[in-house]
Amino acid sequence: MSIFSQISEALGSQTGGQSGSNHSDMVKAALDMFGHPAGMSNLGQGFEGAGLGHIFQSWVGTGANNPVSPQQVESAIGSDRIQQLAQRAGIPASIAPQLLATILPVVIDKLTPHGRMPQGSAIPKAS
């Protein structure tokens, strides 16, 4: 099963199967932007810089994923990257933080199954 399928399945179970195309498009955009070591490291640094490193670390670790609010996502990622992600996903930037608050914990959790940040090219492709 591809990483995209794993994430989609996990999101579907969280939303009662109601994840829809906006979720799928945003998952693809998030995987493009953060689904490699440098992108994930930059995301972690953004959360750390916003005082939210503990939230990001919960997603990487093997325990429960802490929730994140749309406002916290925007604070950690920044409005420019939110706009880029929304553009890539073909959705309005106004709904991107809410979608990211739902999908980022799952995306990072699935990309770090062993509870640590990947090194080199260890992150699976989105296919």
At 12, which CATH number? 1.10.10.690
CA distances (Å), origin 53, targets 7, 40, 75: 22, 13, 12
CB contact at 8 A, 60 and 117: yes
Q: Which is nearest to 86 in space by CA: 47, 39, 125, 30?
A: 30
Tens digit of pLDDT at every position of the chain (127 positions): 566 676 767 766 555 444 556 778 899 999 999 988 899 999 999 999 999 999 999 999 999 999 999 999 999 999 999 999 999 999 999 999 999 999 999 999 989 988 888 775 444 444 3
Is 116 domain-assigned? no
Q: Which residue range is the domain that position 68 belongs to?
A: 3-111
Is 54 domain-assigned? yes
Instruction: State the Cα–Cα distance between residues 67 and 4, nearest whole angstrom.
Output: 21
Number of structural domains found in the chain: 1
Is 121 domain-assigned? no
